[in-house]
Structure 1
Amino acid sequence: MKKFCKLMVDNMAVLVLLIAVLAIAYPPSLTWVGPWVSIMLGIVMFGMGMTLKFDDFRMLAKRPWEIFLGALAQFTIMPAAAYLLVKVFNLPPELAIGVVLVGTCPGGTASNVIAYLAKGDVALSVAMTMTTTLLAPIVTPTITWLLAGAWVDISLTKMMISIAQMVLAPVILGLLMNEFCGGFVKKVTPVLPLVSVVTIVLLVGGVVALSASKLLTHGLLIAGVVVCHNALGLICGYAFGKLFRLTEPKVRSLSIEVGMQNSGLAASLALMYFSPAAAIPGAIFSVWHNISGSIVANYYNRKDAANEEVVPAKTV
């Protein structure tokens, strides 16, 4: 089972691509996912909560400055980059709101894995994900309203409640489950990554199926915007960390945390409050940031290997 789970997790990007192809080729096969999107996202966040303990929150008190910088970078760089790209590419409102939603969402849980692979500060990555997730019910709707309120009608209060229900409540429930039913959680922990992968894959497939016609028309354009958005997050996040003279492992974690979004939340909110087309950026981001994250981790590992090479000095 462990080998099967690892195989599924390692090949999540491939699975997402395959289900996206199926969704485009035959949309009815996955349109049934639509009404279940919010529940699926809740399952993923519940799984995240089950990996946390109350002791983890002590980290917030021990490293307030670094975590503050991470949250600040997360909720300024990505929203600003989203707004810039929307203007540069002159996207129509239904697609523009989707890009902005991706930018205003908290960091994704996959960032913690990528931070580990990139030899970053994993504890800081987890703390930043936890912090931005807890802030999301207030910050995400507020920034979305400020940036996109002129394009579409946004119900600020309703969106706050939805994010609290889909993200905050499941995380807290998972945390309580881990704290008070640790034995059970320990038994099911090995299959949690598999549950998350299957849920995310289905979520992306459902979004693609519901917006297949729009995706065929605007797919390449949105893919280009998503790649640029992700790259800006990774590069600017790295520069932000260097600006404040953080150590290399911390800078790597900050960069990855900023560049990798909870795009599943963005897609879910788009389907709930706007249109299937608005969910396209979130769906594509879900695929791409896992690919780019792997590339970045590989780059850092190669860089470290090159730096560790010792060239013997010549004796005279």
Structure 2
Amino acid sequence: MQCCRMSTRGTSFVSGGVWGGGSGRRVLCGKSASAWCTGERGRWADAAVRRQRQVVPGGRCWASPRSPLTGRSVHMRAASAGVGGMVSAASLAVQVRRLAALFVDLFPVWCMAASYAALKRPEIFLRSAFFSAPNGVSIGLSLIMLSMGATMTWADVGRCIGWRSEEVAEREPEPVATTTSVMVRRAVLLNLVVCFVVMPLVAYLLASTVMTSPRLLSSLLGTQAKARAGSAATTAAANKALRSSIITGMVLLGSVSGGQASNLCTYIAGGDVALSVAMTTVTTLLVTVALPLVTKLLLGAAVPVDAFKLAASTARVVLAPVAIGVAVNTFVLRTATARMAVRPWLPVIGILATLYTIAAALSPVSATVLSAVGEVPIVLAVIGFHIVGGLLGYYAAKEMPGMRRNELTARTVSIEAMFKSPALSFLLASKHFDGTWVLVPSAISLVVLAPLAAAYSVVLRRMGSSPLSSTLGTAPSLPTMRPFASNPVRRPSVRSDALTVGTKRVRPQPATASPMVAAPPRILHPRVLVFFRGAPNPVTVMKPDLRAFLLKMRKMRGMQVEKIEEI
């Protein structure tokens, strides 16, 4: 067995972490307190010692029932027991982290369970002062935003609001795969267009075609339509009123801002949390202007929104918890070890807060929601509305010029477009319109949106763990490989003897009498040109080595990739 080394002068052993000497050529082995070693050179190969001292093999071990070093063996057994305790504690921590990851992966299941419990047994939650508090939903949303703020830094906040000082830029350069400040502004603008232009139109089209077909309206009216069959005018008026109510409810659902729980889904999906918070804040503040305008154009009647109350609620529910979370991440969790220890539990806290919010929001309106969920065509139309919004946001962010096909931005915009705020639309519908059917789309969305968005975020999370997706996310600007026929051998390209950024020499190369000449590209080994911002010449990199090269460049200050071209 190769586990220890012996000293030529005698036995070397550890007693309480101190090296000592003996008269024999035997020493306790690190495997157990009764294993002995011999050899030309040896050392006690305990697991704690192996981390700091290299163990060189050169001895043989055998088991001894009793150690002649009785006084020393007690300390050695204690040291071995301490090492075993550390190993068991480490394995326990790993198992706990795995349980936390499994809990996050089962996020859709927990959402469906909370919705079912709140709808079937609402009295359990209504009798509890913890769930029936007047501000219960606001408290749950604040906890979600607090847990998401703890994953952010002040650099993320500055990047999203467009402020980035020269000192911060020099100390923390923006990575290649990160959403830059310019991309943030474009992504926020794209999200505004999707939220207040595209989604209301999608909702109006679905409501006016699928959800208000004559056959569906007659089935919804039921016995009332049969009782009034003698009067065609009365039946037509009832159909028109029902159709108008459903269209109004869907347009309200499509015109409201994004929900705060979208930030948690963005974090689980591996998106840009800071960008998600910025999008949620901007859409929530602009809904006071956009919602009356959209409802006036599509419905003919403007729905007023109290701008001051909505801004105060946004500051209290979104901005203040995020600021507290960022401060905790900056001043309390100072070291990387502390942040890594806390990070697996932040989505768990957010999921628990989401389940509390679902129970607190659904239990008071369980009767209305249950009557609405029974209409299968309307339920399918609402589910399709959210799915279409997510897909449109994803592909619009991927194909938008200047976005570099960034995977983080695409996931963030997709979840923001999918995750509307049904609680706000339900409140506005109940306050400004009469009738039960106006509440039906928002009530259905309260039930189906949380499990749907949770399942979508978990799917994106699983996609992000695959090698292909991680490679594309690392180099999002890499174009697709062209066929071999369109990849002819070109003349050699000349590059300088050093890679410079501005006036700074970053990566010097061996001095030569003439400039270095890159070998012509080969068909079986295609190459790419990597252009750095401020650098006079590009760098030629083999395509299989591109990812490792970009990861190495991320660690260098001032190195920011501008574009990548295939040779």
Q: TM-score, normalised by structure 2?
A: 0.46
Moved more, 272-281 or 83-92: 272-281
Given candidates 199, 206, 214, the residue that maps to 2:353 is 199
* 1:173 lines up with 2:318 in the alignment: no
Measure, in 2, the Cα distance between the counterparts of 1:188 and 1:302.
24
Measure, in 2, the Cα distance between the counterparts of 1:299 and 1:22.
31
Q: Residues 242, 85 of structure 1: CA spacing in aligned structure 2 closer, same or farther, 3 A cutoff?
A: closer
Identical columns (%): 17
* 1:228 lines up with 2:379 in the alignment: no
Q: Residues 145, 237 of structure 1: CA spacing in aligned structure 2 closer, same or farther, 3 A cutoff?
A: farther
Higher strand proportion: 2
Code of the residue aligned with 1:53 in structure 2: it is T
Q: Residues 154, 55 of structure 1: CA spacing in aligned structure 2 closer, same or farther, 3 A cutoff?
A: closer
Measure, in 1, the Cα distance between the counterparts of 2:464 and 2:153.
30
Measure, in 2, the Cα distance between the counterparts of 1:25 and 1:189.
35
Measure, in 1, the Cα distance between the counterparts of 2:368 and 2:426.
14
Q: Residues 49, 265 of structure 1: CA spacing in aligned structure 2 closer, same or farther, 3 A cutoff?
A: farther
Aligned to 2:453: 289
CA contact (8 A) 1:73 1:237 kept: no
Code of the residue aligned with 2:355 in structure 1: it is V
Measure, in 2, the Cα distance between the counterparts of 1:295 and 1:153.
38
Aligned to 2:400: 243
Measure, in 1, the Cα distance between the counterparts of 2:325 and 2:315.
14
Moved more, 39-48 or 257-266: 257-266
Q: How does 1:203-282 map to 2 (within 5 A)?
A: 203-219=357-373, 220=376, 221-244=378-401, 246-248=403-405, 250=406, 252-261=407-416, 266-270=421-425, 275=430, 278=442, 280-282=444-446
Q: TM-score, normalised by structure 1?
A: 0.78
* 1:37 lines up with 2:137 in the alignment: yes
Query: Does the residue aligned with 1:261 lie in a helix, a strand or coil?
Result: helix
CA contact (8 A) 2:258 2:417 kept: no
TM-superposed CA distance for 1:296, in Å, is 5.1
Q: Residues 10, 178 of structure 1: CA spacing in aligned structure 2 closer, same or farther, 3 A cutoff?
A: same
Given candidates 242, 249, 252, the residue that maps to 1:97 is 252
Given candidates 171, 186, 198, the residue that maps to 1:69 is 186
CA contact (8 A) 1:227 1:288 kept: no
CA contact (8 A) 1:215 1:280 kept: yes
Query: Does the residue aligned with 2:263 lie in a helix, a strand or coil?
Result: coil
Moved more, 262-271 or 52-61: 262-271
Aligned to 1:57: 157
Aligned to 2:107: 12
Moved more, 68-77 or 54-63: 54-63
Runs (5+) with no aligned partner, structure 1: 117-121
Higher relative contact order (CA 8 A, sep 6+): 1
Q: Residues 99, 128 of structure 1: CA spacing in aligned structure 2 closer, same or farther, 3 A cutoff?
A: same
TM-superposed CA distance for 1:78, in Å, is 2.8
Higher helix proportion: 1
CA contact (8 A) 1:27 1:212 kept: yes
Query: Does the residue aligned with 1:234 lie in a helix, a strand or coil?
Result: helix
Moved more, 197-206 or 289-298: 289-298
Aligned to 2:278: 131
**CA RMSD for the aligned pairs?**
3.6
CA contact (8 A) 2:397 2:413 kept: no
CA contact (8 A) 1:78 1:259 kept: no
* 1:158 lines up with 2:309 in the alignment: yes
CA contact (8 A) 2:145 2:260 kept: no
Q: Residues 106, 144 of structure 1: CA spacing in aligned structure 2 closer, same or farther, 3 A cutoff?
A: farther
Greater Cα radius of gyration, structure 1 or 2: 2
Code of the residue aligned with 2:320 in structure 1: it is A
TM-superposed CA distance for 1:37, in Å, is 0.5
Measure, in 2, the Cα distance between the counterparts of 1:281 and 1:214.
12
Q: Residues 205, 266 of structure 1: CA spacing in aligned structure 2 closer, same or farther, 3 A cutoff?
A: same
Runs (5+) with no aligned partner, structure 2: 1-95, 165-173, 175-179, 209-245, 431-438, 473-483, 485-567
TM-superposed CA distance for 1:95, in Å, is 5.5
CA contact (8 A) 2:118 2:125 kept: yes
Aligned residues: 299
Q: Residues 279, 154 of structure 1: CA spacing in aligned structure 2 closer, same or farther, 3 A cutoff?
A: farther
Given candidates 120, 134, 138, the residue that maps to 1:25 is 120
Moved more, 139-148 or 285-294: 139-148
CA contact (8 A) 1:27 1:209 kept: yes
TM-superposed CA distance for 1:178, in Å, is 2.0
Measure, in 2, the Cα distance between the counterparts of 1:56 and 1:169.
16
